[in-house]
Structure 1
Amino acid sequence: MNSMEARRYLAIYLNDHLAGAAGGVARAHALARAHRGRPDEGRLRRLAGEIAADRGALLAVMMSLGLPIRRYKSLAVAAAEKAGRLKLNGRLKNRSPLSDLEELEVLRLGVEAKAAGWRTLLALADREPGLRTPELQRLLARAQAQIAALDELHKEAIDPIFSRRMTTRTPTIVR
């Protein structure tokens, strides 16, 4: 593969990550707003701020590499993220307790993908002069800390939803 083709693939790859980041920023801010006045509001606001900053860092990386930014991908993912909030979740008018659990899981998947993106860029740092290894290592470490925070929030979200003892009933056969 020639270097021109490799850069084209890198541009596609990073634009895909940028689009995912747009969805992640929207999801993180929506989750923080949904927790307004609750004990975990501060943690979720900080997390949303970090995720937004990471999207900005990705934009900076793309600019430093001279790669085109395809905004239409980000707009499409942001629209899909908003549509994803409209799913049926056991409640018609207000937020279901399942919403928190599922949104934390989706957010964690996004942060996992972001961490994979930083690892990919670290692997390319010796070939791309626009990539700064210390900055990428810092971003990867922050993604790993975000994963740990999301795991903790996820664990805390489980008990209020499933706090009653769950028993298995044997179906009754009527003859």
Structure 2
Amino acid sequence: MNGPVRSGTPGSESTGGTDMKLLGVYLNDHLAGATAGAQRVGHLARASRGSALGRAIGTVAVEINEDRETLLEIMRDLDVPVRHYKVWAAWTAEKAARLKGNGRLVRRSPLSTVLELEALRLGVEGKAAGWTTLRRLAATDGRLDTVLLDTLLDRAEHQQETVEEWRVHEAEAALHPAGRS
């Protein structure tokens, strides 16, 4: 009996060798991360407004929001539907994460900034990994724009450098005895 050849994932369709069902899960997971990351960096930029950190992170915040929009465009180009429950869950989880204690009752702890920068760094690294995966898939899927993905990878690298520079600075200021207020 010769039936249609199917991939190993029930209900998946393959395009250029790509399992579209799994790619949909993958991209929606990245969209959830991008949603949480955009919320986190926006909060940090607002909390740091008027400072050198605020100016640097403000620029990164704009780029991260643009990157999230670009991910949505890529998902549309690939006919990957947005799983709104994942986006909502990520948004909610990011808001809930702000409720954790920071060692201070009424004002922001210097550790809050350090931990937010560390979370942001991990988020940008994850985003870069996602762009790298899509860049590799572009070799067999003409719907993916290699020039755009290369640009996104370069931008993620610059974001990583900016965030890491400020993470080190803020960690030293918060944890070094001479830097404490």
Does TM, scored on the shorter chain, surpass 0.5?
yes
Report how far residue 8 of structure 1 moved: 0.3
Report how far residue 39 of structure 1 moved: 2.1
Distance in 2, Cα, partners of 1:72 & 1:152: 34
Gaps of 5+ in 1: 166-175
The DSSP-based 3-state class of the residue aligned with 2:41 is: helix
Counterpart for residue 55 of structure 2: 42
Counterpart for residue 65 of structure 1: 78
Q: How many residues align?
A: 165
Distance in 1, Cα, partners of 2:81 & 2:166: 36
Report how far residue 163 of structure 1 moved: 2.6
Aligned counterpart in structure 2 of residue 94 of structure 1, from 82, 103, 107: 107
Distance in 2, Cα, partners of 1:100 & 1:31: 7
Stretch moving more, 48-57 or 124-133:
124-133
Q: Deviations over 1:75-129 (max 9, x none)?
A: 1001100100110111112111100000000000000000000000011002212
Cα RMSD (Å) of the superposition? 1.3
Distance in 1, Cα, partners of 2:110 & 2:121: 18
Q: Which amino acid aligns with 2:13?
A: M
TM-score normalised according to structure 2 size? 0.88
The DSSP-based 3-state class of the residue aligned with 1:122 is: helix
Does residue 4 (structure 1) correspond to residue 3 (structure 2)? The answer is no
Gaps of 5+ in 2: 1-5
Q: Which amino acid aligns with 1:45?
A: G
Aligned counterpart in structure 1 of residue 166 of structure 2, from 150, 153, 161: 153
Runs ≥4 in structure 1, deviation > 2 angstroms?
none
Distance in 2, Cα, partners of 1:144 & 1:57: 17
Report how far residue 164 of structure 1 moved: 1.2
Counterpart for residue 3 of structure 2: none
Distance in 2, Cα, partners of 1:62 & 1:127: 16
Distance in 1, Cα, partners of 2:141 & 2:75: 11
Distance in 1, Cα, partners of 2:95 & 2:22: 28
Q: Which amino acid aligns with 1:119?
A: T
Aligned counterpart in structure 2 of residue 123 of structure 1, from 109, 133, 136: 136
